[in-house]
Amino acid sequence: MAHQLSQFSSILRENESLAPFTWLQIGGPTRFLVEPNTVDEASEVLSVCHQQSIPVRLLGGGSNVLVREAGFAGATMLLSGPGFSHISQSGTLLTCGAGAKLSHVVGHAVGLGLGGLEHLIAIPGTVGGAVRGNSGSDEGDISQSIHSAKILSKDGQIRTVTRNEMAFTHRASGLDGVALIEVTFSLMESDPEVLTKRQQTFWILKRRAQPSFPERAALAFVDPVGHKAAELIHQAGMLGTVEGAVRMSTSYPNYLIASSGATSGQVLTLLDRVKQGVHDRSGVQLQQYLQIW
């Protein structure tokens, strides 16, 4: 199979550890790591992988992924090149590559006097990862500002989908199994000074409420309808729970922190223990937000 992908040798690495590409810095290698430079290249890679039955996963900033020690026996695609981080404006529409950092896009929109994304300023990762997980804050989800997206299907076919064709729910997009290539946001014309102040406020509040780099952290659970996962964890007495070299943060509820020697097994056991503790205390079943590879 490797020789079929060998035509992409300039953008392909084999048996590359995924740990350095994730916030938790845990996990084994991917069989292939591909970094296409253009949409056409990404499409060709997907097409070859499809023909050869090689599974493909997209990786953005790695802030919501836990890779198991066994790694991933397929191709991991990173949209890290300049071909996937462009940002352009047309009236109140802002179009950006799925590999663009979400914080850059928010800052850019604010500078242009386009409002609607400021509340997302301190969420780590890329636009692609945020749209795939319908990331958001207490102010709302990213899906509320989406106009349309360009996606590549598993076999490399490109198409544009409108917001109504996507199946957004809380922290989910229904976009599983496709590669987001480009996203267009529909924003509101606003005063850049007012937007800048809003952005700064969100930045300060959020940074106080979340661990920051170089902490090896992950947001553990989705807020269940009518509840806050952080409060449920606190009420269940699970803050500070330790499993090997991984612990539930006491300073930042609903975040887990990995330290030297942490394994994916320890993270999974900790998540199960917290789920069980919360269920025993409140009867609520937590769903993890972290994507397990």
Question: Does residue 58 interact with ligand FAD by CB under 6 A?
Answer: yes
Segment near ligand FAD (CB under 6 A); pick from 1-9, 35-43, 51-59, 153-161: 51-59
Neighbouring-strand partners of residue 182 = 97, 150
How many residues touch ligand FAD under the rule CB under 6 A: the total is: 32
Alpha helices in the chain (DSSP H): 2-5, 39-51, 102-111, 127-132, 192-209, 229-235, 264-282
For 259, the token pair is 């330290």
- The answer for residues whose C-beta is within 8 angstroms of residue 147's C-beta and 6 or more apart is 93, 162, 163, 184, 185, 186
| Active-site residue (options: 68, 171, 273, 281) | 171
What is the DSSP code (8-state) at residue 246?
E
Exactly one of 29, 113, 124, 253 binds ligand FAD (CB under 6 A); that residue is 124
- Of the residues 179, 220, 230, 256, which one makes contact with ligand FAD according to CB under 6 A: 179
- Quickly tell me which residue has 């845990």 as its tokens: 26
Q: Which is nearer to ligand FAD, 85 or 126 (CB)?
A: 126
123 binds ligand FAD (CB under 6 A): yes
User: Is 171 one of the catalytic residues?
Assistant: yes
| Alpha carbons 99 and 106: distance in angstroms, whole number | 14
Retrieve residue 9's tokens.
Answer: 């040798």
Residue 217, SS3? strand
Site string for ligand FAD, 219-238 (x = CB under 6 A): x-------------------
Candidates 100, 105, 130, 233: give the one binding ligand FAD (CB under 6 A): 130
What residues between 75 and 94 interact with ligand FAD by CB under 6 A? 79
Taking the complex as a whole, the smallest distance from the CB of residue 280 to ligand FAD amounts, in Å, to 26
Residue 105: DSSP 8-state: H
Q: Which stretch binds ligand FAD (CB under 6 A): 41-49, 127-135, 239-247, 258-266?
A: 127-135
291 binds ligand FAD (CB under 6 A): yes
37 forms part of the interface with ligand FAD (CB under 6 A):
no
In our burial notation (b when 16+ CB lie closer than 10 A, e otherwise), range 248-286 reads bbeebbbbbbbeeebbbebbbebbeebbebbeeebebeb
Q: How many CB atoms are closer than 10 A to CB 73?
A: 12
The answer to whether residue 128 forms part of the interface with ligand FAD (CB under 6 A) is yes
Nearer to ligand FAD among residue 59 and residue 229 (C-beta)? 59
Q: Which of 45, 94, 100, 218 forms a contact with ligand FAD (CB under 6 A)?
A: 218
List strand residue ranges (DSSP E) for 45-202, in order.
Answer: 56-59, 65-66, 72-78, 87-90, 93-97, 114-115, 136-137, 140-141, 146-152, 158-162, 179-186, 188-189
Binding test (CB under 6 A) with ligand FAD, winner from 27, 115, 133, 156: 133
Q: How far is the CB of 189 from ligand FAD (least distance, A)?
A: 26
**Strand pairing partners for 95?**
88, 184
Among 125, 156, 253, 277, indicate the residue that binds ligand FAD (CB under 6 A).
125
Under rule CB under 6 A, residue 27 binds ligand FAD: no
Residues contacting 70, CB < 8 A, separation 6+ = 28
Q: Which residues in this chain contact ligand FAD in the complex, by CB under 6 A?
A: 23, 57-65, 79, 98, 123-126, 128-130, 132-133, 135-137, 179-180, 210-211, 217-219, 291
The catalytic residues are 171
